[in-house]
């Protein structure tokens, strides 16, 4: 008996886009693996991103269309005039385990889960969680390296330490920059009057590309991407939801005004996927307690599907199919 012949968004179990759940990572057979990383102990001001994976899943049911999960032939993008994610196997792998106050246990588990999924050949899509989780996620991709990094954020996240704390959400890009298999780092969309000059100088000293929001708008996405010296030819992408304007993404701990529109972010993600193979990506800092209308969670779910669609389309194209 078919349980949900109609299957409206609010009916049934809210896995990501109502896709199949596979929690035994050793058995995953998929092109794309959604992995929740519910952790926000790295936040210095407004916590809540620990509820991000659940919230994004809840609102992603809007994109489950009329059947259980995405239709086998994916979705039709009216602006592109073609289908995306057709035949792509996507599964929801549940969450990494978390233990409050135990960053070692939690981060080791994150790296192990990412390593297991990448080893199964899946594109890992990590849903934060605060931005501190990007370090253990990238650390788990050691076998996929070397690769470059594109970091989309209002903030540099390049602080070395805060009174000895080195793994908070202000430091993940600094930490991944220390990994031997991480090459160039491009930090795009940076803005706000709380940026730290020492972190900026340190990012430049490492050789990172730093492009502010105003510079990005003036030069345009294509020109900025074309100028990036990504020497490994493939990249990891970290998307902090606060890269987007708080008018459309208010549900986050550290909003900064004058951010990406959805159109500009879409152009950015399409541009990245068209230029370089993407080894994995994360979307972090969605904080449901600050998102009572659900707008940010809805946007996050859509960005995941759009970016995964662009990445998988580029992969299929490069195989000549
Ligand atoms: Mn960040
Ligand atoms: Mn940020």
pLDDT in tens, 36-61: 999 999 999 999 999 999 999 999 99
CA distance 217 to 264: 9
How many A from CA of 154 to the centre of ligand 1?
A: 7
Q: Please report the beta strands in the chain, taking only residues with DSSP state E, as ranges in sequence order.
A: 32-37, 75-77, 82-84, 90-95, 123-128, 147-152, 182-190, 209-212, 235-240, 278-284
CA distance 48 to 129: 8
How many A from CA of 108 to the centre of ligand 1?
A: 20
CA distance 186 to 148: 8
144 in helix, strand or coil? Answer: helix
How many A from CA of 1 to the centre of ligand 2?
A: 47
What is the 3-class SS of 289-320, one letter each residue? HHCCCCHHHHHHHHHHHHHHHHHHHHHHHHCC
How many A from CA of 143 to the centre of ligand 2?
A: 27
pLDDT band, very low/low/confident/very high, at 93 (cuts 50, 70, 90): very high
The DSSP symbol for 110 reads H
How many A from CA of 307 to the centre of ligand 1?
A: 18
- Check residue 321 and give its pLDDT: 44
How many A from CA of 146 to the centre of ligand 2?
A: 25
pLDDT at position 200 over 70: yes
Cβ-contact 155, 200 below 8 angstroms: no
How many A from CA of 61 to the centre of ligand 1?
A: 26
Tokens at 12, concatenated? 């049934």
Q: How far from each other are the two terminal CA atoms of the chain, in whole angstroms?
A: 37
How many A from CA of 88 to the centre of ligand 2?
A: 31
Tokens 């952790």, residue located: 39
How many A from CA of 191 to the centre of ligand 2?
A: 10
How many A from CA of 56 to the centre of ligand 1?
A: 18
CA distance 180 to 193: 32
How many A from CA of 10 to the centre of ligand 1?
A: 31
- Check residue 8 and give its pLDDT: 87
Of 191, 62, 43, the C-alpha closest to 129 is 43
How many A from CA of 134 to the centre of ligand 1?
A: 9
How many A from CA of 254 to the centre of ligand 2?
A: 6
Q: What are the CA-CA distances from residue 246 to residues 252, 299, 319 (Å)? A: 8, 12, 39
CA distance 148 to 252: 26
CA distance 13 to 95: 15
Ligand nearest to the CA of 130: 1
pLDDT at position 225 over 90: yes
Q: What are the CA-CA distances from residue 195 to residues 26, 150, 170, 192 (Å)? A: 41, 19, 10, 6
pLDDT band, very low/low/confident/very high, at 82 (cuts 50, 70, 90): very high
How many A from CA of 204 to the centre of ligand 2?
A: 18
Q: Which residues contact 24 (CB under 8 A, 6 or more apart)?
A: none
pLDDT at position 319 over 70: no
How many A from CA of 296 to the centre of ligand 1?
A: 15
CA distance 306 to 17: 13
Cβ-contact 182, 176 below 8 angstroms: yes
How many A from CA of 274 to the centre of ligand 1?
A: 24
Cα–chain center distance at 239: 5
pLDDT band, very low/low/confident/very high, at 72 (cuts 50, 70, 90): confident
How many A from CA of 302 to the centre of ligand 1?
A: 19
CA distance 2 to 68: 10
CA distance 191 to 77: 31
């Amino acid at each position: 008996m078919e349980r949900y012949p109609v299957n409206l968004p609010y009916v049934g179990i809210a896995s990501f886009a109502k896709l199949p759940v596979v929690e035994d990572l050793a058995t995953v057979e998929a092109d794309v693996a959604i992995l929740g990383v519910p952790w926000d102990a790295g936040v210095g001001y407004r916590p809540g991103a620990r509820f991000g994976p659940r919230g994004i899943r809840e609102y992603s049911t809007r994109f489950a269309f009329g059947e259980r999960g995405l239709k086998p032939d994916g979705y039709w993008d009216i602006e592109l005039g073609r289908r995306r994610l057709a035949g792509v196997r996507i599964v929801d792998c549940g969450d990494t385990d978390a233990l409050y106050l135990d960053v070692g246990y939690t981060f080791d588990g994150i790296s192990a889960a990412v390593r297991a999924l990448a080893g199964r050949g899946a594109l890992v899509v990590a849903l934060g969680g605060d931005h501190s989780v990007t370090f253990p996620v990238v650390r788990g991709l050691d076998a996929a390296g070397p690769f470059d990094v594109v970091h989309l954020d209002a903030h540099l996240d390049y602080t070395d330490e805060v009174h000895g704390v080195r793994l908070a959400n202000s430091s993940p890009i600094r930490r991944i920059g220390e990994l031997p298999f991480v090459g160039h780092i491009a930090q795009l969309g940076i803005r706000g009057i709380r940026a730290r000059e020492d972190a900026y100088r340190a990012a430049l000293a490492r050789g990172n590309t730093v492009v502010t929001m105003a510079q990005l708008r003036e030069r345009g996405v294509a020109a900025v991407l074309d100028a990036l010296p990504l020497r490994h030819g493939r990249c990891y992408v970290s998307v902090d939801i606060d890269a987007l304007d708080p008018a459309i993404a208010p549900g986050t701990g550290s909003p900064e005004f004058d951010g990406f529109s959805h159109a500009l972010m879409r152009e950015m993600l399409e541009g990245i996927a068209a230029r370089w193979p993407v080894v994995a990506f994360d979307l972090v800092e969605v904080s449901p307690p600050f998102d009572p209308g659900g707008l940010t969670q809805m946007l996050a779910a859509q960005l995941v599907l759009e970016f995964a669609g662009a990445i998988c389309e580029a992969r299929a194209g490069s195989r000549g199919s």
